[in-house]
Structure 1
C-alpha cells in the first residue's frame, strides 16, 4: 500500500472511531499518531532531492560481451517480479581450470549502478553448511525481496548492489544449484575450490585487478575467513585482491561456546520472551552452574582478557567430551520454549504465532508451505530464467552432506584464518543480531576475546560505543527500516564489532539499514559507525542533533548441530544459515 493511501485510510478510521468522552479514545489517538507519523515520512520522501538509487537504473550493459552473453538474465522477465531488475548474469562455472572438471558452482551477479563502484566486487555467502546464498539474495540484500508471509516480491532500496558490484555464490559443491561430486573434507578444500571458480569468473567477465570484498553469515564465519586467507596467500592481485571481510552472526569458535555456554544468561536477559515457570528456570540455572558455564562467562568475557581460555571447555569430562546434561541444556531450553511458543523461531526469538509461510521453504519456518504454494527457486520457470540446471531439485539447505563424511575437519577460523585476514587488511567487521539464539552474541564475543590479532589478545576495551544508523527517505511500507542509535560497536587493530538491536540471525533481513551502513563502512564510503553522517545514497536526509550516548546493545549479559558426535569440535545436527 502506498503511504498516501494508508494515511488516508487511517485518517478515515480516526473519524469512524470518534465517540463519547472516553469510549474508543485510546485507539483513536493511536491511529491519529500513526497517520501523522506516516504523513510526515511521506512528505520527507516526496521532498527529498532526486538521488538516483533505483535498483534497476536504465543504462548500457557494463559486462555484456561474447563470453557473458550466455549468462545474461532478462531483468524484465523474472517470474512473479513485476518490475525490471536491471542488468544481471547467472549460471554455473567450474571450480578449476581443468577442462575435465565436472563440478560447478551456481552464482547470480548484479553489476552496480553506483558511480563509486568502479574496480571492486563483493562476494556474499550463506552458511549451513550447505545453505544456499540465494536465501541471502531473495530475503536479505538482493535487488528484490520476497519476505516471509508476504504477497509478492518488491524492490529493495537496501540492495547491496546499489553500493557495489555483488555476486551471490552457492557453495560448496552440493549446495543449491551447484553440481558435482562432494570432495571437500575441510575449509582449505572449500577455499581451493572457490579460488578455481573465482578465476574462471574473473576471466569470463574481464574483471582482472578488481578489489575483492568477502561477506557472509553464520557458517560462512568459517567459509569467508578461510577463502579470504587463501586469497591473501595467493599474493595475486590480478585475481585475488582481498580488501575487506564482513561476517554476520558467524561460526568462529566451538559450538559449545556459541550455544551452550551463554544460553541460560541469554534466556535470563530476554526473560519476557522465555516466560518459564520458576521450577524450570531453577532447573536450567542449576545445570548451568554444574556445567560451569556462567562462571566461564564471568571469568573470560572481560576487557581486556585475563588470558587465553583453557583448551578444556567447561562441562566436559576428562577426555574433553561434553557431558550429556551439559550438551542437552541448550535443547532442553529449545524444547521448553516451543511448548510455550509453538511458532518460536531460533533465528529471531521475538517471533510468535502465526507461522508465516516462506517462499524459500527455509527450516526457520518449519518447512510450512500453504497448499498450492511452491518453493520459488525450485520452479521450472525460475530455473529457466536464471540459467539454473533444470534437473536439480533446489532446496534452501542441502539434503546431502557438503563435506565428505559430514564432517568439516578444519579448526575454528578464530585460531588462524580470521586473525590473518584482520592483520593483512585492517578491514574486518563482525556483526551480530541481539535476538539470535542459534548462535548467541556473547558466544561470539567469547571467541573474539580468545583470539590474538595485531599482537594482542582480544578487545582491550568493551565495545560499547553507539552504533548509529542514519535516518532515511529511501524506503516505502514494504521495506521500512530503522534509524537512530541501534546497538553498540567498537574498533581495535583493524577489527570492528557491531551488535545490532532487534535483529535476529540474518542481519541484512531483520535490520537492512544497519547492514547497509556497515557495508558503506567496509567499502570505505564512510569512516565511522558511531557518527551521524547520512547514507551516501541519501545524503540530504536530516539526522539526529542530540548526543548519542553509549551503545544500547546488551554486552556481557550479567544475569546469570553436524553429525560427528559431541566433541567440542563438532555439532549435533544444526543448520546455521
Structure 2
C-alpha cells in the first residue's frame, strides 16, 4: 500500500513552503512539489596584511579593473581584482559571453604560476554564490549584518577566478546552444583561452574546483583541457568536486536516504509509524541489499546500469517523501544542511537554504545597480542565483555521467583529484557519492580497494581557540570562527582522494571553511596528505598535536560494517537484526569511530 494514511500532516507543511522552497536546481533535481516555470590571530592578520602592488594590470585588463575600496557595503579594501565579460570564442563580435570575477593571490610573496577556477552548480546557478558565501575574499553569510573579511579566502593561497557559466547563468549572456556537457566544455575552453590571453597567464598550471552540479561541469571541462594538449592555456593539474552530481540519481538519493535518516535521527524525529514505513520501503525496494552488496571494499563488480529505471515510482520517491515529512516536523528544514532549525535567516542572495526568504527592505546583492556598476556588469540584466530559464537546449543535459569516462580520465592524467562530501548534506547523500565512486574505474581498478578510515585533520589555528578569540574582543574574528582537529575521514588511492567533513552541509567552504582551506592546500601540493598535522601555510608556527594521537576518522562509517567484514577495532559494531519501528536500521551510518562515539551515544 502506498503511503497515504499519514499524508495530511505533511501536505500542510509542504503547501506552506511550496512557493518559497529553494530550488533543488544546484544538483540538477527538479522540485516535484512545485511546477518548473599571516600572524597568530585574525586581528593581527587584518592589521598587518598588505595590499600587494597590482600583478595583472596591463593595457588589456584596465577595463576590467575593480576598485577594491568601492564595492558596495564592503567597508574594507579587498585588493586587486578584475571583473567583466569575455566571449566564448575567438570570433569577431561574438555576443555569447561569460562573466567572471578574478582575484589574484593576496599574499605578496606568492609567485606561483597557477590559477584556480571555481564553479557552482545548477545547471544555471551562479558561481558568485561561492564567491560571496564560500571562499571569496569577503563573506556575507546568512543572517549577518554586512560583509566581513574572509581569512579562509582561497585567493590567500593562489590566484582564483569565479566564472558564471554556461551561457544564461548569472550575468553571462547570449544564446543558449549547449545540449550537453561536451558543448559546455567547448564553449568554456573558448572563454578560458581569451581569459588566459587577456591576463597573460600562458603557462600557468590550471586547477578546477566546484560543487554540486559542477560534478558534471568540472570533470568535463578538465577532461577537455587535457584533450586539448596545450599546456600554454590548459595545463590541467588537479580538481576538487564537493558533494557532486556523479551518476545514477536513485543511487545518489533514494537508495541511501533511510540510512542517512537513521544516522541523523535526532534531527529527523519521525514517529514510529512513518519510520516503519520508510524502513519497509528501504527493504522491499532492495535498497538495503544494494548497500550491503555494493558499498564494500573492494567492490564485487559493476553496479546495475540504469538502476533508476529499474525501481518503481514509490521507491524512487522515497527521498521526496522523507523531505516532506522532515518539513512537517521542522518547517525550516534545509536539505542542504539538515541541522538547520527555525527561525529563517535572511540571505542577501535570497535563499538561506531550502526556503527562499528575503525580508521587506532586503535586496538581492548582485541584482543591485550599484553592485553591477562596481563590477562592470550589465545594469539592465536581472541577476538570479539560479537561472529561471534553461541553460541547456530543451532543458535537459544529454551527456553521460562524469564517472563513466571523463572523471577517470582526469584522475589518471593528473593523479590529483579530491571528492569531498559534507555529512549533513541531504540534497546529495554521502553514501550515494561513495556508491558512485565504487562504481567508477580508474587506475585500472574498480572503486576503492580499502575502506576510508583515516583521519581528516584540520590544523589548529588562531580562529579555533576560543580564549584567544574572546580575549581579542574582535567582532571580525567572532564572525570567522572555524573548526580544527579531526573533522572527518580522508582516503587516497590511485590519485583519487575522498574526504568526508563532519558538521558540514552541501557547501563545504561555507559550512566548514577551514576544512576547504586545507583541501586546497592539499590540491596545490602545499601539504602531502589530508591526515598531515603540518600547520596551515598561512600560520606556519602554530603548534599542532602529534600525528599518533589522531586515531581514525570521525563521522559515519563509509561501508556496511556487517556486510563487508572489514570494520576497524575503533568502530562501534553494527547490528544485523531488523529494528522495530522507530529504531535504528543496521546500515553504513550506524558504525562510527570511537573518537565520535561519546557524542553520538548522547543521541541514542
TM range (shorter): 0.7 to 0.9
8 Å Cα contact 2:349-2:366 kept in structure 1: yes
Query: Is the deviation greater in 320-329 or in 374-383?
Result: 320-329
5+ residue gaps in structure 2? 1-38, 465-476, 561-584, 587-604
5+ residue gaps in structure 1? 1-42, 561-577
Query: Is the deviation greater in 142-151 or in 471-480?
Result: 471-480
TM-score if structure 2 supplies the norm length? 0.82
Q: Which residue of 1 aligns with 2:244?
A: 250
Q: Does 1:82 align with 2:75?
A: yes
Q: Does 1:123 align with 2:125?
A: no
Q: Does 1:350 align with 2:306?
A: no
Q: CA deviation at 1:100?
A: 3.4
Q: CA deviation at 1:240?
A: 0.3
TM-score if structure 1 supplies the norm length? 0.86
Work out which of the residue numbers 339, 364, 376 in structure 2 matches 1:375: 364
8 Å Cα contact 1:53-1:162 kept in structure 2: no
Q: CA deviation at 1:254?
A: 1.3
Q: Does 1:397 align with 2:386?
A: yes
1:346-495 matched pairs, under 5 angstroms: 346-362=335-351, 364-474=353-463, 476-495=477-496
Q: CA deviation at 1:54?
A: 7.7
Q: In the comparison of the two structures, how many residue pairs are matched?
A: 510
Q: Does 1:523 align with 2:524?
A: yes
Q: Which residue of 2 aligns with 1:57?
A: 50
Q: CA deviation at 1:44?
A: 6.2
Q: Which residue of 2 aligns with 1:565?
A: none
Q: Which residue of 1 aligns with 2:279?
A: 285
Work out which of the residue numbers 152, 165, 168 in structure 2 matches 1:174: 168
Q: Which residue of 1 aligns with 2:555?
A: 553
- Residues 227-255 of structure 1: per-residue CA shift (max 9 Å, x gap): 00000000000000000011000011111
Q: CA deviation at 1:324?
A: 1.2
8 Å Cα contact 1:63-1:205 kept in structure 2: yes
Instruction: Sort the Cα spacing of 1:392 and 1:312 in 2 relative to 1 into closer, same or farther, 3 A.
Output: closer
Q: CA deviation at 1:189?
A: 0.3
Report the Cα distance in structure 1 between the residues aligned to 2:351 and 2:55, rounded to whole angstroms: 34
8 Å Cα contact 1:56-1:85 kept in structure 2: no
- Residues 148-193 of structure 1: per-residue CA shift (max 9 Å, x gap): 0000000000000000000000000000000001100000000000
SS in 2 for 1:271: coil
Q: Which residue of 2 aligns with 1:564?
A: none
Q: Which residue of 1 aligns with 2:182?
A: 188
Q: Which residue of 1 aligns with 2:8?
A: none
8 Å Cα contact 2:335-2:354 kept in structure 1: no
Report the Cα distance in structure 2 between the residues aligned to 1:103 and 1:322, rounded to whole angstroms: 41
8 Å Cα contact 1:132-1:171 kept in structure 2: yes
Instruction: Sort the Cα spacing of 1:54 and 1:555 in 2 relative to 1 into closer, same or farther, 3 A.
Output: farther
SS in 2 for 1:197: helix
Report the Cα distance in structure 1 between the residues aligned to 2:129 and 2:49, rounded to whole angstroms: 20
Q: Which residue of 1 aligns with 2:99?
A: 106
Q: CA deviation at 1:56?
A: 6.6
Q: CA deviation at 1:556?
A: 3.5
Query: Is the deviation greater in 466-475 or in 413-422?
Result: 466-475
8 Å Cα contact 1:217-1:247 kept in structure 2: yes
Instruction: Sort the Cα spacing of 1:65 and 1:468 in 2 relative to 1 into closer, same or farther, 3 A.
Output: same
Q: CA deviation at 1:311?
A: 1.2
Report the Cα distance in structure 1 between the residues aligned to 2:482 and 2:65, rounded to whole angstroms: 32
Q: Does 1:509 align with 2:513?
A: no
Q: CA deviation at 1:117?
A: 4.5
- Residues 92-138 of structure 1: per-residue CA shift (max 9 Å, x gap): 10000011321100000000033345210000000011000000000
8 Å Cα contact 2:301-2:446 kept in structure 1: yes
Instruction: Sort the Cα spacing of 1:59 and 1:44 in 2 relative to 1 into closer, same or farther, 3 A.
Output: closer
Q: Which residue of 2 aligns with 1:239?
A: 233
* RMSD (CA atoms): 1.7
Q: Which residue of 2 aligns with 1:533?
A: 534
Report the Cα distance in structure 1 between the residues aligned to 2:298 and 2:266, rounded to whole angstroms: 31
